[in-house]
Amino acid sequence: MTLAELILPPSQAHRALMIAAASVVILAAAWIFQALGYEPCELCLAQRYAFYLAAPLAALTAFLAGRSAHGLARAGFALLSLAFLANAALAAYHAGVEYHWWPGPTACTGGLTGPVDVNDLMKALNSVKVVKVVLCDEVQLRIAGLSLAGWNVAVSAALAVYAALAARH
């Protein structure tokens, strides 16, 4: 078996199973980082949706390919490609928020906007339950210089290309 056949096997079912396996591994890695104390922010959690969708969709695509339903399998690969492409865009947005290139969602970015009245702040503190908020604009972990959002851009884009190529073959 050549390296090309290992990376892009001739069987549509095997290609789909590789995407399913990659999705499960990525989710497992995210859960392991979380167990190690790296709490995900709102945008991090949203980026997991593509992988939650991809694992069963890729398994269904593998099943359809195994049943010689190649047209439906191609549609499955196309949907996978679109999901990963959208996730790459969301991860790129998140990476931009981390680098402060643009503002992030107000629910998970730091800093106060405008003047604050101390009396109003004290009243609010008496009526609000304090919860830990993980900020979307602060990087908790960098690996080889990239934040996890940055790595998600690369991985999601690669999986989008892989699924698109699998749909064409």
The pLDDT score that the predictor gives to residue 106 is: 85
Number of domains in the chain: 1
The pLDDT score that the predictor gives to residue 116 is: 66
In a domain, 1, yes or no: no
In a domain, 123, yes or no: yes
For residue 125, pLDDT over 60 is answered with yes
Structure tokens at 89: 């865009």
Amino acid (one-letter) located at 169: H
In a domain, 50, yes or no: yes
For residue 115, pLDDT over 70 is answered with no
C-alpha Rg value of the chain to the nearest Å: 20
The pLDDT score that the predictor gives to residue 10 is: 76
pTM of the model: 0.83
What is the rounded average pLDDT of the residues 6-26?
90
In a domain, 147, yes or no: yes
* Residues 6 or more apart whose Cβ sits within 8 Å of residue 132: 39
In a domain, 85, yes or no: yes
| Residue that the structure tokens 């049943």 belong to | 67
Residue 113 per-residue DSSP state: -
What is the rounded average pLDDT of the residues 10-26?
94
Confidence at 114, pLDDT banded by 50, 70, 90 = low
Residue 137 per-residue DSSP state: T
Phi, psi of 142, rounded to the nearest 5 degrees = -120, 140
Q: Are 68 and 11 in contact (CB under 8 A)?
A: no
In a domain, 17, yes or no: yes
Enclosing domain of residue 109: 7-168
In a domain, 2, yes or no: no
Q: Quick one: which of 4, 61, 29 has its CA closest to 141?
A: 29
Whole-number Å distance between alpha carbons of 46 and 31: 14
